[in-house]
Structure 1
């Protein structure tokens, strides 16, 4: 589900306005939790705000921390980061193999055999800024499968949780913090799938050269996306629960049916042997109820 959107001009930086957008999105999540559970949401899993290196800055991370969320963000390989990675050294016990693309699970040793590894090290973010911006973090770095351990690294990531080393979800007894955090961070393709879905539907062509009109169109596109996600979920069909907007539009929106009017009542005649009949009827029953026919 998309809970926040904003149209930006192409010339602006990626992090511009991100702090406010994160604050608004987390406030929306908190309201949704309160509305669903009827409580303040205490005891619920913490939200993890994931960002690329463009969003590594105190305004963005600080907004997430003030809202009570954890942060998992890619860090640019600055000279400070490189020195921190180099301090890990060649100690094999400091590095843990992770479940990467070509990893093989060894049942005998209950470990992953992989060329990609992670290591954890304490770190203070934004140390060059004023003291109120200094953030003590649980920081870990990931070794790329193509890099030789441990001197060169393709990525370094930082998980910030207000001074604690807890991640969401927390590490299990058989995994370390770095392994759990790295696995969570690499689940980044979800947002890319959302972008592809929007570009394949409402955002294929923006309707105007007016920025305000296109911003309104984006809001409508997000509303349509969320409504189709809800409709797919209400069908209770595993194939439609996570289907794209195009699939939902083809299967349960563009219905090959005929509407008949009799005695001031509309009757929808669905085709026989239609493959999506069960899913569509389940959606109808969940949305309106069997005992509440639509009467016009």
Structure 2
């Protein structure tokens, strides 16, 4: 491959007015329209304020979502929608300064209105694309995963910013996702590809908020969305930061199961000590897993379980009885290990490090333990957000940043729906991959009479996927 040729020179000029840099926005916004985005915004969102701020609120929110899908991670980046022929194709594209003023006019009530739009749009996408069909499949287990992260912020005039549990100054974003693992067909039965994680609910909180704050509300909302999509067997999963009565109570209220990593305390240590040595089952992982505490890869462990009653310091009616599933891994003694090789003397006795799960899920011990480890899928969703629209929280006003988070959630779910209908590896691809292969596709706009035609690159490797996506959105596309 050569960047130049000895017989001619290469010139560049920014003068192509018919170029659409992100042609994938056309089917993406058409899909959002089919799922009811504009109608929901018209019906639910009531932003008032000084002259012009609350005017045409739906168009401003759609501009934010479209800009995020095109790669914008701050208000200034929303100007990407005014490049080339983009503004001519879509119409109603708002300037970044106008959108910034609009978001700063939001109150907490407006954020809740956007939340209502978000989960209703997710169900609308399900109706249009079958995005969540696998939730209702026979034998499918729907997992609601809850986690949070601290988004680093800088400056001194930003509302809600504080040092959180990670010792980072910023704001805390809490996310609840819905997913279903793929299921292979058994005995001639039909399997399914599962549901890649979509975001059912999200909250922006002060930077010093504890992880478990508001657990009951976000779990309740996420479970309600899952049930509305047809889920029948639901398990709420969370890490040790959420170990407490609130999560168990929220699961019981919603009539679903829970699985949470337990924090070590005297009661749990006593329960582990009471496990008979013959009760431990050795397991080997086909793929090694990373051990955060020991900072090493492990490929084998031992698992056992014991019945346990948690939260006994609360009144008797709030005691929760379940299973304590314990995984233990040998803790290597650095004095007897050097460069990965043991000294001849070896260890005098084995030391163990324990990883404990508290759950009321029925089933085989090893299967329940393995299913709980898949809770880490929510961390990938958070990484997608922080590597995309949430790379920055763009305002000094808390409610503007909260609205930005909800728009990022809507954008994530739209991209996930696009990947679902595109098919192939894109069904479970990361958000960045979906942007690169379905959205960031340049096209030349050709107008003929009252018809607009997009001329995309020939031999585009993912042309068939893009065409399926466009057809679902109601567009005519051919390779």
Length-normalised TM-score, structure 2: 0.51
152 and 133 in structure 1: CA distance in 2 versus 1, 3 angstrom threshold: farther
Question: 1:262 corresponds to which residue?
Answer: 448
Contact kept? 1:138, 1:159, Cα under 8 Å? yes
Query: 1:286 Cα deviation (Å)?
Result: 2.1
Contact kept? 1:202, 1:221, Cα under 8 Å? yes
Task: State the structure with bigger RCO (CA 8 A, min sep 6), 1 or 2.
Answer: 2
Question: 1:157 corresponds to which residue?
Answer: 357
RMSD in angstroms over aligned alpha carbons?
2.3
Question: 1:194 corresponds to which residue?
Answer: 381
Contact kept? 1:115, 1:145, Cα under 8 Å? no
Higher share of residues assigned strand: 2
Q: Distance in 2 between matches of 1:280 and 1:101?
A: 35
Determine if the alignment matches structure 1 residue 20 to structure 2 residue 207. Answer: no
Determine if the alignment matches structure 1 residue 2 to structure 2 residue 199. Answer: yes
Q: Distance in 1 between matches of 2:302 and 2:312?
A: 27
Question: 1:138 corresponds to which residue?
Answer: 323
Q: Distance in 1 between matches of 2:473 and 2:207?
A: 40
Determine if the alignment matches structure 1 residue 121 to structure 2 residue 311. Answer: no
Q: Secondary structure at the match of 1:259?
A: strand
Q: Distance in 2 between matches of 1:151 and 1:83?
A: 16
The gaps in structure 2 that reach 5 residues or longer are 1-197, 289-298, 333-346
Contact kept? 2:330, 2:350, Cα under 8 Å? no
The gaps in structure 1 that reach 5 residues or longer are 34-40, 104-113, 171-176
Question: 1:59 corresponds to which residue?
Answer: 246
The C-alpha deviation readout for 1:95-136, integer Å capped at 9, x for no partner, is 112243677xxxxxxxxxx64011111111112210110111
Question: 1:208 corresponds to which residue?
Answer: 395
Contact kept? 2:215, 2:250, Cα under 8 Å? no
Query: 1:231 Cα deviation (Å)?
Result: 0.4
Query: 1:212 Cα deviation (Å)?
Result: 0.3
Contact kept? 2:422, 2:465, Cα under 8 Å? yes
Please point out which of 59, 63, 68 is paired with 2:255: 68
How many residues are aligned here? 256
The C-alpha deviation readout for 1:137-194, integer Å capped at 9, x for no partner, is 1221111243799974331111125xxxx1xxx4xxxxxx221111011113211111
Query: 1:290 Cα deviation (Å)?
Result: 4.9
Q: Distance in 1 between matches of 2:431 and 2:306?
A: 42
Q: Distance in 2 between matches of 1:270 and 1:52?
A: 45
- 51-60 or 94-103, which deviates more: 94-103
Please point out which of 275, 278, 289 is paired with 1:88: 275
Please point out which of 270, 273, 282 is paired with 1:97: 282
Question: 1:32 corresponds to which residue?
Answer: 229
Contact kept? 1:86, 1:151, Cα under 8 Å? no
Q: Secondary structure at the match of 2:326?
A: strand
